[in-house]
Structure 1
Amino acid sequence: MSIDPSSIPSFGAPQQPPQSTGDEGPPPVVIPDQDLVIQLLGQMELKHAVDEEGDLLAPWDGFRVYYMFRGEQKELFAVRAFYDRAHPIESKQELLEALDEWNRETLWPKVYTHTHDDGVVRVIGEAQMIVGMGVNINYFVAMTANWTQAAVSFDAWLADRLGLAKDVDTEDGDTEDGDAPEGDSSED
């Protein structure tokens, strides 16, 4: 099954819808598989790889998005994002409040925490659909692209919501206004 490039959602400028001749009929129903997702990621110009467990992933700076088929017949398709940023256990309550806000106000990905044995808290996001009986190709393409974009948007939203973007700017010793921190004068 080939994916019509015009069916891939654009996250930039609006595109003109394709002109219908009225003869096409409904879009085909397909049972998606990893090859179809690989084709879609290629058309979206996203770098991707297959990990040692056979799962398809697209890496970003600070997180990875996995495209997985699960179940005995691979009937469940999941897009799952694993965010690399480590949160200390002491900030878990603030993190949970932010995740609750995201989950209330958006459709996907649904996000949650995972606390490791060492007390480090990480965030995971996911969206799922059942595909075992087949799914409209346009719906599958749109949902996969939208879920991917939402996973990327969530990372930026969380950094902004928790003030983490400022932390990156100030880690090199500069304050937010670009001056050296007080007490760090090299002009003695």
Structure 2
Amino acid sequence: MSIDPSSIPNFGGQQPEPQPQGPAGPVVPDQDLVKQLLEQMELKFVVDDEGDLAAPWENFRTYFMFRGENEQAIFSVRTFYDRPHGIESKPQLLEAIDDWNRRTLWPKVYTHTHDDGTVRLIGEAQMLIGMGVSLEHFVSSTVSWVRAAIEFDRHLVETLGLEQEVDEAEKPGDDD
């Protein structure tokens, strides 16, 4: 099965040459299909120690996971935002993610508080795939979820005023 590259939004690179359309009926997506999609989107990815695909960005990692079997099989796109937040920031974080979750379909974002009091954010979208899905639906959903994961990071930076942190981290040192 192959993905029609013209159905994939361009992430800034050249549009790939058209290839034959995929199957007309439902397909059960697998990791190879996701790898092909990520390659056509020109996104770098790795396979972690647990066998899950991960696409790393500067401040977050997006995982593409398959769980369950038969009719209960699920495809999950889960993004772990690496920017640590202090426990005292949790009310402000909850306000920002509640606003996001009300206004958007995905990813649904939640907090995870570590034992040391560090709060991190996780975004997630899932699709039931056990009975098969149309290839077009799978591709468009996965691409939308990746774009939304990127957009949430921008939303958080803007909402929490993290632009200053980003700008300061990018400034050259004064020890010239």
* Normalised TM-score (structure 1): 0.81
Q: Is residue 68 from structure 1 mapped to residue 65 from structure 2 by the alignment?
A: yes
Q: Is residue 54 from structure 1 mapped to residue 51 from structure 2 by the alignment?
A: yes
| CA distance in structure 2 between the aligned counterparts of 1:57 and 1:30, rounded to whole angstroms | 22
Give 2:158's match in structure 1, choosing from 152, 157, 160. 160
- In structure 2, runs of 5+ residues without a counterpart are none
| CA distance in structure 2 between the aligned counterparts of 1:7 and 1:75, rounded to whole angstroms | 25
Q: RMSD of aligned C-alpha atoms?
A: 2.3
| CA distance in structure 1 between the aligned counterparts of 2:43 and 2:58, rounded to whole angstroms | 13
Q: Which residue of 2 aligns with 1:115?
A: 113
Corresponding letter in the other structure for 1:9 = P
% same residue: 64
- In structure 1, runs of 5+ residues without a counterpart are 19-23, 175-179, 181-188
| CA distance in structure 1 between the aligned counterparts of 2:30 and 2:170, rounded to whole angstroms | 45
Q: Which residue of 2 aligns with 1:84?
A: 82
* Normalised TM-score (structure 2): 0.87
CA contact (8 A) 1:27 1:138 kept: no
| CA distance in structure 2 between the aligned counterparts of 1:143 and 1:132, rounded to whole angstroms | 16
The 5 Å alignment of 1:85-164 reads 85-164=83-162
Q: Which residue of 1 aligns with 2:35?
A: 38
| CA distance in structure 1 between the aligned counterparts of 2:169 and 2:130, rounded to whole angstroms | 48
Deviations 1:98-133, CA, capped at 9 Å, x for gaps: 000000001100000000000000000000010000
Corresponding letter in the other structure for 2:126 = Q
- Count of residues paired in the alignment: 165
Corresponding letter in the other structure for 1:129 = M
CA contact (8 A) 2:11 2:42 kept: no
CA contact (8 A) 2:69 2:130 kept: no
* Larger displacement relative to structure 2 (64-73 or 131-140): 64-73
1:9 Cα deviation from its structure 2 partner = 2.8
Runs in 1 of length 4+ with deviation above 4 angstroms? Answer: 171-174
Name the larger-Rg structure: 1
